[in-house]
Structures are given as structure tokens and as C-alpha cells.
Chain A
Amino acid sequence: MIAGAIIATYALLAPLTSLDAVQSAGVPLLADKLWFRIATYIAMFMVMATAWNIIGGITGYAAFGNVAFFGIGAYTTGMLVAKAKWPFLAALPLAPVVASAFAALIGLPLLRLRGHYFAVASLGVGVAVGELVQNIDYAGQPLFGGASGLFLPILSIDNRGLFFFYLMLAAAAIAIAVTWWVLRSRFGYGLIAIRENEEAASVIGVNTTAYKVGAFALAAALTGLAGGIFSQWNVFINQDNAFPIEYNVQMILMALIGGTGTVFGPAAGAVLLQLLIQFLGGSLPISFDIPFVSTDARPIVAQVILGVLLVVVVIFMPRGVIDFFGGRSRLSLSYLRRSLRETSL
């Protein structure tokens, strides 16, 4: 609901930024290029958190390496645009295709693991793919731009910031719509059954392998789409910005904060957490001082605060903020007791 309200607000107000009158009138939130960038980042994380929810929240497989699909999407579109000179909008659809094909391929062996084993193995894949992309050489030349990365030609359109914001927002809307559909479909019921008890699911006729791989590939497709948009938006991609390990944790934290297994929860979590990350990192114009912390150290402090937040959220509101603030018995002792009981399961 929070996410819906924010999407609606932006969708209604964003076009106003193209009007000089509004800009000169000084509408602070939308006229500012920085805010646009932040809003696009928020939408990007809405896609990733919502996508992670499909495999992590609905299916119950804690994937810790989904950033691999973001990077693969970014490099797919990036390579097609930068090297093969494809138009961006023709190259973009291949990002989700390649990302989901890769997910299906590694999903077959990976999804045989459960619990911590799957989490660690998927984290390994996430790191390995980034290293591979940077280090694969072909005929003495780095195949994917190597350590110096890939530069994409700048898209020559008016209001580029607005265009990419809308594109990322559309991707977020697609991710949310896909989740909505999944949760009402036979496919989604099968995934939930796998999460609740995989053996019980299999003996009532759920093809657990196909369903798990399907959920993984679907999450990868959406994450890859965000990566594809990112590559052209950012114009430059390398291992650091296409495969950032911290995204793995951030998208999971967003889904947990918002509420796993729900339609809007992860997107709402993305809004809250991304704003917090930018705020703590000092990127927002509404600046503040953290006592005893220098400006340089703020991003590190931000990471620490996120870590503490993760612990607090998992223990005290395992069903997410939407449930926490929307539920009947919030902040009561019984809510805490119930939450602790569920966490310990």
C-alpha cells in the first residue's frame, strides 16, 4: 500500500518536471536531478526486492546471490549496445532472457540444496559470476571490457532522467504484477507448498524441481531486467557497479522489512530502506550529522546500522512492516512473543 501510494504520487507528479513553470516555481522534490536519481534507484530496488521475494519469500529458498542476475542483465544489454551497436530498446528484452536462462542452468544443481547450504552456494555463484565477467579473455582481449568496464553510448533523448525513471518504475510495476499473478495461480500455490513442506508438496503432485527452477528463473528475469535498464541509465558498467555484493543483502533486507511472501511488501521495504541508505550515506539534500562520525565514514556506519536493523526486523517483526503496522496487535507483548516463536522455527 505504501509502495502503491508512492508509485501513484510519482506517476502523477513526475511529468510536471518537464514543465519549466513548475521547475522555476521550485517544487523541490521533483525538480531536482538528485531526487530523480534517488527515485530511480528506489524503483530499481523495488524490482530486485520484489523479484527476490518470488524465490526467497514465496518459495522459501534464501537466494543470496541474485545480484548475479542483475549483473548478467546489465552486461547482456551493455554488450549488445556497446559492442554489437544494437539500439537500447532492442537489447533490453534480452537481459531478462539471458539472466533467466542462466538461473535455470545453475538452478538445477543449486536448488537440490536446502537451507543454509543453498544460501551459501548461491552467494558463491553471485560472487563468481562477477569475477568471471571481469576476467574472461578472448584472443588476448577482455571479452566483457575487463577491469576498465563497458561504456555505452548515451541515449540521445530529451528528459533522459525522466525516461529511465519511468522505465525502472514500469519494471517495478511488472515485478509487482507478476507477484500478484503468482500468488493467485496454481504455480504460486505450488511454490508456497514447497516452502511449507517440500516432501508433502511432492506427494500431492507438485513437480518440485520444475517449480523451484521456474521461480528462480522468474526472479532472475525480473532482476536481469533491472540490470539491463541500469546499464543504459548509468552509461558505464563494471564489476563494482553491476555485481555489488551488498545488493544481495539489501534486497533481502527490503523484502524482510516489507514482508516476505506478500505482493507489495518488498516494494514498500525498498522505498523505506533505500531512503534510509541514502539518508545515512549523506546523499540526501536534507543532511544531518551523526555524532562522532566523520563524513567519510558515514557509508560504513550506514552498513552497520543496516546490519542492526536486519537483526531487529527478523526478531521483532518477521512478517514485515505492513503486518506490523497494519496488524491488530502491534507493539503488544503477545505480538513479540508470537514473533519470537515464529523466528525460532
Chain B
Amino acid sequence: MSAPLASQLELRDVTKRFGGVAAVDGVTFDIAKGDIVGIIGPNGAGKTTLLNCISGLQRLDGGDIRWQGDSISGLAPHRIAKLGIGRTFQIVRPFGSMTVRENAAIGALFGSAEARRRPKEAFEQADEVLELVGLKAKAGLAVSTLTIPDRKRLEVARAVATKPQLLLLDEVMAGLNNVEIDEALDMVRAVHATGVTVLLIEHVMRVIVGVCRRAIVLDFGQVLAQGEPEVVLRDERVIQAYLGERYAKRRQP
């Protein structure tokens, strides 16, 4: 295995147990700087738990996570955010009492080392980010007036406003229709084009194939396969474990 780019994030035997169940079981992979990688897998495969481990919301029971060469296992979430790892939540968690602009500004106000700013600068940065994700026209609205796709955009905007070097996206396309997915894909591409490494969890195959350079398949907490999306999705084990027989049959002419 030769990585064309320097590894930014390295997972080594990452394990997280809940009682007797290993939700994440010895997961090892590297994310290169500037890459865009998709994690797929059936429900309960441990995708979100893995993201929680990376962002520090859950402590590891084994293994190590290294960020730019240094271990970040056991660090508090805010310290990991400061190092430049941003994330979104699958079920969006906007700050409900604030406007769209304020939500994004809070990301800019805290966030990574580069994002530490005064409130006035944070709001300017928020405006740039809202433009990037296509929410500029709704900046002054209350969060409660936003549609679901817009709330997902806001979730991304807040994470991008923290000026991360690595962005973890947890199913930002789930629940969107085809048109909305296309728009969201453009948004992810736009964010990636600003130089941010992206690691995204997705159920929608079109997203993985359309935007990811690499795909990692999780099943029962373990890495089943990884590589180029087209290759991985043709892997027999992946088709059986995740896509099921119906998909396998549809693929045959």
C-alpha cells in the first residue's frame, strides 16, 4: 500500500465496545490530506460510533487514532475541534434560539486554531461560509423556519466555519430527494475544493460513487473492504453484506 499523499488521519485497531458488543472492532485505515473518502455499511455497522471516536465524543476501548502524527485518543472534543477536525451530526443539532447567521458565526468564533476570532470577524466569516453552502439568502432567518435540506446545509456550514482541515460528515444526504442530493453533492464538492479533507458517512450509493475517491465498507464494526468506490461496490462480500441479493440480481444484465 503506497499512499500518494501524506497521511493526515491514521486509525490503528480502533475498538469501541458497548457492554459485550464491539460497535467498532479493530478498525485500521488512513486518510490522506486532501482526500475525500466515504464510509458505507449497513445500519448498526458502527459508522457513527467510529465518527464519535474520532471527534472525541466517545473514548476508545482499544487502539489509537493519530492526527498529523500525534495521538488524539482520549482528548476532549473541544481540543480535537481546535486541532482542526470538524463534524456534523446525522440528526441535525442547530442552536435553535439563534439565527442561521449566528449558528455559523458560533462555529467561526470557536473551532480550530485558525478560526479563533472576535465576534465581528466571526460574523464576516459566517457570511462567507453561508455563501459557500448556499444559505446566504436565509442568513437572517430563525432556524425553526428552515426546511430539512437547509438544516443539513446549516449543520455543514457551522462545521465548515470552524475552519477544519478534516471534515466528518454524518449522512448529510439522508432524507433528501434526488434534486436535493445533487445540490448537496455540489456543496460537498465546493467545501472539498477549499482544501478540506472530507470523510463522509453515506447510505446513498450515488453519493459515494459520485464524489468519493475512496470508499471504506464497515460491517459489524470491522473493515470489510476499502479502495476505489467502483471496485469496492463490485466486491462480492460487500454486495452480500450490505447491498443484499436484490441489488446483486439487479446488477446482472
A residues with a Cβ closer than 8 A to B are 184-186, 189-190, 192-193, 195-197, 199-200, 202-209, 261
Contact = CB atoms under 8 A, between A and B. Distances in A.
B231 interface: no
Contact of A206 (B80, B93, B110): B110
Contacts of A203: 55-57, 77-78, 80-81, 86-87
A93 B37 CA distance: 57
B98 interface: yes
B78 A206 contact: yes
Given A186-B118, A189-B105, 11 more contacts: A190-B109, A192-B95, A192-B98, A199-B77, A199-B93, A200-B94, A200-B158, A204-B107, A204-B111, A205-B162, A206-B110
Contact of A200 (B93, B97, B102, B112): B93
Going nearest first, the 4 A-B pairs with the smallest beta carbon separation are A205-B110, A205-B81, A196-B95, A202-B77
A204 B106 contact: yes
Contacts of B77: 199, 202-203
Contacts of A261: 97
B191 interface: no
A197 B111 CA distance: 16
A199 B57 contact: yes
Contact of A205 (B57, B93, B112): B112
Interface of B: 55-57, 76-78, 80-82, 86-87, 89, 93-98, 102, 105-107, 109-112, 115, 118-119, 158-159, 162
Contacts of A185: 119
A318 to B, nearest CB: 12
A189 B93 contact: no
21 contacts: A184-B119, A189-B109, A192-B97, A196-B94, A196-B97, A197-B95, A200-B89, A200-B93, A202-B57, A202-B76, A202-B77, A202-B78, A203-B55, A203-B56, A204-B107, A204-B111, A205-B78, A205-B111, A205-B112, A207-B78, A261-B97
A199 B97 CA distance: 16
Contacts of A192: 95, 97-98
In the complex, which of the residues B102, B105, B109, B111 has the most CB atoms of chain A within 10 Å of its own CB atom? B109
Contacts of A206: 78, 110
B95 A193 contact: yes
B223 to A, nearest CB: 24
B108 to A, nearest CB: 9
Contacts of B76: 202, 207, 209
Contact of B109 (A186, A197, A202, A209): A186
In the complex, which of the residues A185, A189, A197, A209 has the most CB atoms of chain B within 10 Å of its own CB atom? A189
A253 to B, nearest CB: 21
A184 B102 CA distance: 12
Contacts of A209: 76
Contacts of A186: 109-110, 118-119
B109 to A, nearest CB: 5
In the complex, which of the residues A186, A190, A200 has the most CB atoms of chain B within 10 Å of its own CB atom? A200
A197 B107 contact: no
A226 to B, nearest CB: 28
A185 B76 CA distance: 23
Contacts of B107: 204
A204 B81 contact: yes
B82 A205 contact: yes
Contacts of A208: 78
Contact of A204 (B57, B97, B102, B159): B159
A207 B111 CA distance: 10
A199 B162 CA distance: 15
A337 to B, nearest CB: 14
B72 to A, nearest CB: 13
A261 B96 CA distance: 14
A122 B109 CA distance: 31
B118 to A, nearest CB: 8
Nearest to A261: B97
A202 B76 CA distance: 8
A196 B109 contact: no
In the complex, which of the residues A192, A196, A204 has the most CB atoms of chain B within 10 Å of its own CB atom? A204
A196 B94 CA distance: 8
A244 to B, nearest CB: 32
Contacts of B57: 199, 202-203
